[in-house]
Structure 1
Amino acid sequence: MTPFLILLSVSFIVISSTEGARSVEDLEIDRQLKILNRPYIKSIKTVEGDIFDCIDIYKQPAFDHPLLKNHSIQLKPSALPEEMREADETSPPLAKLSAVGLSEACPFGTVPIKRTRKEDLIWAKMFAKNCVSNSGTPYHHHATAILPDSPGKLYLGAGARVNTQNPQVTNAQFSLAFVQIQSGVNVIGAIQAGWMVNPRLYGDNATRTFGAWTAGKGTGCFNMLCSGFIQVNSKFPLGYVISKISEYDGEQYYINFKIFKDIKSGNWWLAHDDLNKPVGYWPNSLFSSLSSYATQITWGGGVLTDNNDASPPMGSGHFADEGYARAAYQRELQIVDQSNKLIYVDDDLLQYDADIQKCYTVEKLYGTDHGFLYGGPGGICEG
């Protein structure tokens, strides 16, 4: 089963892709920068050189979206999934939660939003135009565990402990790990969250968090390069560097990414480990097919190269059969069921899929329920 993957299959509407004179494109980029980079109360510069501006929570770029003009901001979820956890006595050695968030929080009433550079918007345009405008190109690859669409099965969210890795990629490539929810057949609505290495976008090989969404038909956005996602957390923004990375045959780290629906407001929330301290949310009004439930969940890894060069590493860069602490993994795969309970996925329902196994593989993580290993070195995968 070939999964639908947002960052590998959907072009984002960030700036116009209409061909035109260079000066026209420059003017459009400048206009977008003025929209995205708002007046700020304070700036926080990370050791990696990223700048996060502390912006009035009520004046963030999300509210420029035409569907959000009259949106009333929700500062916290009004209804959380009921967590039903069971001890997993057969688990591999415990991994550690990676340090998350900025070194300091923004002042009260403001939220951190990564300052957008001209290069960011140029990448976004090039990505949409060259990399994913044709989802059938051979340079997108994945290794995933899928909970497929099944009659009568509806979901209010999903999550996993996603092992943190730092695959080394070139400027023409990116590599990611993610949790994704989706719904719809002809018009697919989907939300994806996880970590990514993307040197063309960020100018380095650091591993950063991300969030993406689409409502189908050319809609959607990556992080906050356009409007849609509403940031509410003062310390955990989209796009921050993950400081603790797993070591081959050594210490293992993870971030617990969770996407869940507030059953009272209908909004889709993103949390990094703690449901009580979510990052922010995607308003329900953005979606049509995803407005009520998700019908399919996908966990895994993906890679992309924008030309016919070698494909990049996925995960740790090692195949799944090398085992725990060597291959990348995701554990404690969870879903939020129709009764709003956060439960472990039924492993027997999962379908494992790696589209090109000479470069990437995926298999169940034996010795523990609700997990899988995935990844590979990449290379010349086509032909």
Structure 2
Amino acid sequence: MKYSNVSFIVLFVLISFILAAKTKNADGKRSSVSIEEEEDIAFERQLKNLNKKPIKTIMTKYGDTVDCINIHKQPAFDHPLLKDHKIQMVPSFIQEETTSNNISASSYRVSNIDNGFQNERCPPGTVPIRRTKKQDLANARYLLQKKINPNRTNSYSSSPMNYHFVSVEELSQGKSYHGAAALISTHTLELTYKQFSTAQVWIENGPEEEKNSIQFGWLAYPAIFEDSHSRLMGYWTVDGGKQTGCFNVLCYGFVQVHDQVFLGAVIEQISIYGKLAYNMVARVYRDRTGNWWLMFNVIIGYWPAEIFTHLDNASVVRYGGIAGAEPQTDTPPMGNGYLPQLQDYTKTAFIRKMKYIDDKGQLQNINPDGVQSKHDAKLDCYNILFAGNLGSDWEMSMTYGGPGGMCS
């Protein structure tokens, strides 16, 4: 481990402590301040720290409030390990773009990412950061907080949310990964308020109690975004989600450098069942500085090397999706809401050009002979099919998803 017991208490733990604690005054008696009031105080403190004073504020056509923040004063630098961090404006090397914009058939296209600014933009020297609301912090409290453990029947059984996942991973024999890349199909799902669904890639390393993880892709979650649009998602943790890390920029860590595209932005073009299949470029890679750069069609920003304890490289790269809801309720659709098939790719959710990045910074195909598929729900709820190497612009590909329901 780089740092001895390096972790800081982020919002999730703070709130959990407040909910569990018995608030007493100096005389040992019950305080007149309720647990709900204590929780509100914690939220307000976190909101004050996260929502920096903007140079300009933009109301998007999707109803989001986006603040243009001085790039050197963004929330990431409040992380205690980043006080002396010098911002990196571009990666130490730019990867060759090997993922083509179009597949051979004209019915497959690359999705645009829409920040919703219309005719506005952030001033020079600032970056766009979606303003955090109190309900965002409350509803994101358990989002992706628990890591996937494919060796357990229900990898999220200890979580207060009801989760299910499907995934494909290469069972490496001591292989070292320095990133992962894929083209992920984009879809619109009809979700209830407390349901969420993702299409994503995982990069992980470290022992179970100190699991370092970066997860990225798209997410639909009405409880945070107040709509069912698919949006850009990034997540990190250094202890399997127990105390550190968060989704998007709901804590300190991710450094935004792009002046227009930001985490939480809407994926504007989505697939039309049986007619058009849209996909987006998704990639995370470690450059020579040790920072982990995030790309969705364009380079957005990075997670600094300082915040990780076991991510000099990764031992696991995984591709798939997660669907979640409140306990004892139906879990939502995943992918495009249909069970996967390999006959018509305009009628199924897919992840294609599944690659990892080696220690030389080169994109490499995963080994089809070493791939294992995993899922933790009934097959009429969600499934996953690894197609292998389809050649041409598809290369290593998989399909996944399903309608959801009572899936345990």
Give 1:124 deviation, angstroms. Answer: 2.6
Equivalence for 2:280 = 255
Give yes or no for the alignment of 1:313 onto 2:333.
yes
Aligned to 1:381: 407
Partner of 1:348: 369
| TM-score of the aligned structures, taking structure 1 as reference length | 0.88
What are the residue-to-residue correspondences of 1:30-179 with 2, within 5 Å?
30-82=44-96, 95-102=108-115, 103=117, 104-125=120-141, 127=143, 135-137=156-158, 139-151=162-174, 153-179=175-201
Rounded to whole Å, the distance in 2 between the matches of 1:364 and 1:149 is 17
Cα contact 1:14–1:121 (8 A) shared by 2: no
For residue 158 of structure 1, give the secondary structure of its aligned residue in structure 2.
strand
Superposition TM-score, scaled by structure 2 size: 0.83
Match for residue 225 of structure 2?
Answer: 202
Change (3 A) 1:168 1:373: same
What CA distance in whole angstroms lies between the structure 1 residues aligned with 2:12 and 2:114? 27
C-alpha offsets along residues 218-264 of structure 1, whole Å, 9 cap, x if unaligned?
Answer: 2111101110000000011000111111011011111101000012x
Instruction: Say whether residues 1:237 and 2:265 are aligned partners.
Output: no
Structure 2 alignment gaps of length 5 or more: 1-9, 24-34, 149-154
- Say which is worse superposed, 232-241 or 135-144, in terms of deviation: 135-144
Contact 1:12 1:124 in 2 (8 A): no
Displacement of 1:80:
2.9
Q: d(CA) in 1 for partners of 2:63 and 2:12?
A: 27
Counterpart CA distance in 2 for 1:234 and 1:247 is: 30
2:43 pairs with 1:29:
yes
> Structure 1 residue 92: deviation in Å?
5.8
Q: Distance in 2 between matches of 1:206 and 1:261?
A: 29
Deviations 1:165-220, CA, capped at 9 Å, x for gaps: 11212122110000111111232101011111101111111111110001115211
Secondary structure of 1:13's partner? helix
1:148 CA drift (Å): 2.9
Letter in 2 for 1:163: S
The Cα RMSD (Å) is 2.5
2-side partners of 1:247 and 1:314: how far apart? 15
What per-residue deviation string (whole Å, max 9, x for no partner) do you get for residues 88-137 of structure 1? 99x665521111142454211000000111111121336589999x9325
Q: Which SS does the other structure have where 1:16 is aligned?
A: helix
Runs of 4+ in structure 1 over 6 Å off: 85-89, 128-132
Give the drift of 1:84.
5.8
> Tell me, what secondary structure is at the counterpart of 1:25?
helix
The alignment covers a number of residue pairs equal to 364
1:33 to 1:86, Cα distance in 2 relative to 1, 3 A: closer
The Cα of 1:381 is off from its aligned counterpart by 1.1
The answer to whether the 8 Å contact 2:169/2:371 transfers is yes
Q: Aligned in 2, Cα 1:259/1:100: closer, same or farther, shift over 3 Å?
A: same
Q: Which residue is equivalent to 1:192? A: 215
Change (3 A) 1:174 1:117: same
- In structure 2, the CA distance between the partners of 1:313 and 1:201, relative to structure 1 (3 Å rule), is same
CA distance in 2 between partners of 1:236 and 1:32 (Å): 24
Structure 1 counterpart of 2:382, from 351, 360, 365: 360
Where does residue 12 of structure 2 map in the other structure?
Answer: 13
Change in CA separation of 1:129 and 1:100 when aligned onto 2, cut-off 3 Å: closer
Larger RCO: 1 or 2 (CA < 8 Å, sep 6+):
1
Counterpart of 2:77 in 1: which secondary structure?
helix
Q: Secondary structure at the match of 2:320?
A: strand
The answer to whether the 8 Å contact 2:293/2:303 transfers is yes
Identity %: 37
Which secondary structure does the structure 2 equivalent of 1:180 belong to? strand
Distance 2:184 2:157 in 1: 27
Q: Write out per-residue CA displacement over residues 18-58 of structure 1, whole angstroms, 9 at most, x where no aligned residue.
A: 22522111111111111111111112222110111000000
Q: Aligned pair in 2 of structure 1 residues 130, 361: CA closer, same or farther (>3 Å)?
A: closer
Q: Is the 8 A contact 2:339 2:380 kept in 1?
A: no
Q: Using the alignment, how far apart are the partners of 1:88 and 1:337 within structure 2?
A: 25
> Match of 1:256, SS?
strand
